[in-house]
Amino acid sequence: EPELTGDFATLMGWADGFRRLRVRANAETPLDARTARQFGAEGIGLCRTEHMFFDEHRIQAVREMILADDEAGRRAALAKILPMQRADFVEIFNIMDGLPVTIRLLDPPLHEFLPQTEEDVRAVAEAGGLDADKLWRRVRELHETNPMLGHRGCRLGISYPEIYEMQVRAIFEAACEIAGAGRTAPIVEIMHPLVAKGEEMRFLRNLTDRVAKAVMAERAVELPYAVGTMVELPRAALRAADLAESAEFFSFGTNDLTQTTFGISRDDSGRFLNAYLEKGIFEKDPFVSLDQEGVGDLIRIAAERGRAVRPGVKLGICGEHGGDPASIQFCEAIGLDYVSCSPFRTPIARLAAAQAALGEREKDR
């Protein structure tokens, strides 16, 4: 079991005395959540729920949902997933013991849950008792040339609200169960991915509030919660004022924001990146160390415009950059509230946040 002990723990304690930024972790499994806490994370800044759907039992139900002909069919498949999702959240909330947990609703395109070749389709259909022809047809229907720019993120939740309704229900049923059992209720933060427009945010906010209130009324439990958005598209950053009308927090998804700002695929950047690094066009890999110029400008603009409408809007970062010291320094300089990084980077982030805070103090002298 990882643990911070001895001089290392002492050093971390000192660092915590200096830092202003809160440090959270990206975690969606109980193991990650435990590691995050052992390394001093003060909450979960990004719980990627899609990772909870790849499990063997679940992927079968997800496939049934994708194969359904109508909303009723999708709802029937989602009803099978609901208790499993609820159990996921009960476990994570228990581990986090009252700390904030930001849960991001389903993000990837649906084809990621399906086999991709005709041969695999036949095998999967046979193993799961599914209609092979229909499955293959659906695979082709869902095919997208640029899936990262396609039917993913909140677009899925808007096309098929029943998916997000199931997830919000699972989250609040779990939270109410814990509170009802007398344990410390989690601070629930529901986060919507890939939002670009205020209209999307308003739709999602209404959906979230409606389901949250229904569950809390059923259980006779009142819990505070927040609804917010990832800011991971340039349009979201530019239109942050509109988003802040219905979003209580922004979390900068700098993986997608870097991809969409540069127009460079986060998955294939290696094809030319080395040449760019060699020729000095890039000083650093922008997917590792935040581009403090263009991407940084968008973050600054979003912070400023969001705060103009909602002065207390909570601001964090949850892309890979949240665990990179130079990027953390930037987050401190522009006054974000927290960084969220992979559990094993939490100590680095705590140290970097302390150094960044000291650096800012020097500047003020």
Q: Residue 176: which of Mg ion, ligand PEP, none does it interact with, CB under 5 to 8 A by kind?
A: none
The reply to whether 229 sits near ligand PEP by the rule CB under 6 A is no
What DSSP line would sit under 252-272, residue for residue?
E-HHHHHHHHHT--TTTTHHH
Task: Say which amino acid occupies 287.
Answer: F
- Is 239 one of the annotated binding-site residues? no
**Residue 189 found at the interface with ligand PEP (CB under 6 A):** no
What is d(CA 212, CA 202) in angstroms, rounded to the nearest whole number?
15
Does 256 bind ligand PEP (CB under 6 A)? Our answer is yes
Selected range binding ligand PEP among 157-165, 252-260, 276-284, 323-331, rule: CB under 6 A: 252-260
CB 100 within 8 A of CB 43: yes
Q: What b-and-e string marks burial along 271-304, b requiring 16 or more CB atoms within 10 Å of the CB?
A: eebeeeeeeeebeeebbebbbbeebbebbbbbbe
Give the angle subtended at the CA of 109 by the CAs of 195 and 230, to the nearest 5°.
Answer: 25
Active site includes 318? Answer: yes
Residue 319: contacted member of ligand PEP, Mg ion, none (CB under 5 to 8 Å, by partner type): ligand PEP
- Report the residue number, 124 or 233, with the smaller CB distance to ligand PEP: 233
Using CB under 6 A, pick the residue from 254, 261, 329, 346 that binds ligand PEP: 254
Interface residue with ligand PEP, options 20, 34, 48, 197 (CB under 6 A): 48
Cα-Cα end-to-end distance for the chain: 43
- CB-wise, 60 or 258, nearer to ligand PEP? 258
235 binds ligand PEP (CB under 6 A): no
Which of 135, 156, 178, 318 is in the footprint of ligand PEP by CB under 6 A? 318
The verdict on whether residue 254 carries a ligand-binding annotation is yes
Q: Widest CA span of the chain, in angstroms?
A: 70
**Residue 243 burial (10 A CB sphere; 0-12, 13-18, 19+):** buried
**CA–CA dist 6, 16 (Å, integer):** 16
Residue 48 assigned as binding residue = yes
Which residue in 44, 53, 51, 38 sits closest to 23, CA to CA? Answer: 44
Are the C-beta atoms of 325 and 260 separated by less than 8 Å? no
Looking at residue 284, the DSSP 8-state letter turns out to be: S
336 is an interface residue for ligand PEP by CB under 6 A: no
List C-alpha distances in Å: 288 to 151, 265, 314, 322: 26, 14, 24, 9
Strand ranges (DSSP E) for the chain? 22-26, 44-48, 100-104, 187-192, 225-231, 249-252, 314-317, 338-341
Of 47, 176, 318, 341, the catalytic one is 318
Cβ-based nearer residue to ligand PEP, 185 or 299: 299
- 225-231 and 22-26 beta bridge pairing: unpaired
Residue with Cβ nearer ligand PEP (130 or 318) = 318
State the minimum distance, in angstroms, from the CB of residue 291 to ligand PEP: 13
Residues within window 110-169 making contact with ligand PEP, judged by CB under 6 A: none
Which partner, ligand PEP, Mg ion, none, binds residue 108 by CB below 5 to 8 Å per kind? none
Q: Identify the residue among 25, 36, 46, 163 touching ligand PEP (CB under 6 A).
A: 46
Number of amino acids touching ligand PEP (CB under 6 A): 10
Instruction: Considering the complex, state which of residue 32 and residue 256 has its C-beta at the smaller distance from ligand PEP.
Output: 256
Which of 255, 265, 289, 292 is close enough to bind ligand PEP by CB under 6 A?
A: 255
In the complex, what is the shortest distance from the CB of residue 218 to ligand PEP, in angstroms, rounded to a whole number? 31
Our finding on whether 265 is near ligand PEP (CB under 6 A) is no
- Active site amino acids: 318
Binding site for ligand PEP (CB under 6 A): 46, 48, 107, 232, 253-256, 318-319
Binding residues for substrate: 48, 104, 232, 253-256
